[in-house]
Every structure is written in C-alpha cells, then in structure tokens.
Amino acid sequence: MQKFHIHKGLVAPMDRENVDPHAIIPKQFLKSIKKTGFGPNLFDEWRYLDKGEPGQDPSIRKPNPDFVLNQPRYAGASILLARKNFGCGSSREHAPWALDQYGFRAIIAPSFADIFFNNCFKNGLLPIVLSEAQVGQLFDACHAFPGYQLTVDLERQMVVQPQGEEMAFEVQAFRKYCLLNGLDDIGLTLKHADKIRAFETARLTAKPWLAHTLKDNPP
C-alpha cells in the first residue's frame, strides 16, 4: 500500500450528496477477480453517455462533457471534494479501489458512510471529515479559481489552502500509523513474520503429525 505523508494536488468538486458505491463503480465491473483496472470506470454511469461494460476501450466511448471529471480544468485531480454521506450504500471495496486507481489520494467531505470510510483507510485512500461550512468554503474557492490546489499534511492533520490557511482534521491514531507507513492488513501481518515462523516451527516440533497432508495420507 502506498504511504501517505504530505500530498499536494488539484481539487475536483463533486457537488452531490449521498454518492453511493454503485455510482462510484457500477456492479457490472465487479466481475473481475483482480484488484486492479477499475480506474477507467470510476463514476462510469455519470462519466460516459454510453453504457459501460468490462473490457471496453475508454478511448472509443462517449464522455459526458458536463461531468466534473471530464472538464479540462479538473484533469489530473488527485483530491476529491464531496458533500455529506459520501460512500453510502453497499459495502463494495471496489469503490475505494476505483478512486485510488483513478488517481485520487484524498477525499474531503462533511461525512462518510462507515463501511466506505473504513475501506478507504485499508486501501491507502485518506477520507477527511471537515464541517459543512468548511467544505462549502472549499467548494466556493474551487469553483472560483481554476487550478485550485490543496495540501494535505497527514502528520500534522491539516488541510492547507493556497494562501496558507489551515483546516485541522481528526484521524484515529492506528489508521494514521498505517497510512504513514503504507501498511494494509497483509502488511501489518507480515511485520510479525518472524514470530509467525517461530510459532509454526515450535508447533511442528511439538506436533510433527501436523506436517502431513491428505496427499501424504490419502483416505
């Protein structure tokens, strides 16, 4: 998982409440058994005028010119600004995968659905909760100034505006530790690899029959 320390990026404003995971990544793209390749279909039903199917070449599709991510001024955005209850609905982990693989590193909103919020941290994406007034201020600035960028400082837990004004945000200490160190659940487990190997060795010494398999002892 990619580490997160300080990130400065272009902001894209998604002025919608209650954005659900089906809108983030529609169900037909969940058939893949891989964790990669979802970025081109992020917000597929809003982003394109034609119906999307897995394996399509994005270059031959019909983009919706009115959708925010298709507007040239937001090309390459890596911070998503959203309204309340972002990520509500089903628990599909593909939603943060798609956001991350599109290029987003952080999402700022007044509130998030709990499961989506947790899944973001597990996949290297930082969800930031600010007040509705603060988010409204950022929307106004983003619309007013083309090329509007923010700096997200996870260590200090600050969102820094171009003029230097700072907005503090909260993040649970363990989640912060994992993001700063790029540790997902597998990475956390592998930190204890030596202890795991030592346990397995001691267990097999005490109970050597556990090393046998069905292949060794067919019924």
Q: Which residues contact 121 (CB under 8 A, 6 or more apart)?
A: 127, 175, 178, 179
In a domain, 198, yes or no: no
Residues with Cβ within 8 Å of 120's Cβ and at least 6 positions away in sequence, in order, are 87, 96, 99, 107, 112, 126, 127
Residue 212 has pLDDT above 60, yes or no: yes
Residue 215: per-residue pLDDT:
47
**154 domain residue, yes or no:** yes
Tell me the C-alpha distance between 31 and 54, whole Å: 8
Look at residues 177, 210, 171 and name the one whose alpha carbon lies nearest to residue 1.
Answer: 177
Helix (H) or strand (E) holding 8: strand 6-14
- Judge whether 160 lies within some domain: yes
Note whether residue 217 is domain-resident: no
- Is residue 119 one of the residues assigned to a domain? yes
Average pLDDT (188-207) is: 81
> Residue 14: which CATH number?
3.20.19.10
The residue range of the domain holding 170 is 6-181
Task: Tell me, yes or no, whether 139 lies in a domain.
Answer: yes
Q: Which residues contact 207 (CB under 8 A, 6 or more apart)?
A: none
Asked whether residue 206 is assigned to any structural domain, the reply reads: no
Give tens-digit pLDDT for 57-98: 988 999 999 999 999 999 999 999 999 999 998 878 999 999
Distance from C-alpha of 83 to C-alpha of 126, rounded to nearest angstrom:
16
Helix (H, G, I), strand (E, B) or coil at 218: coil
pLDDT digits (tens, 9 = 90+) for 160-179: 999 999 999 999 999 999 99
141 within a domain of the structure (yes/no): yes
Looking at the structure of the chain, the number of domains it has is 1
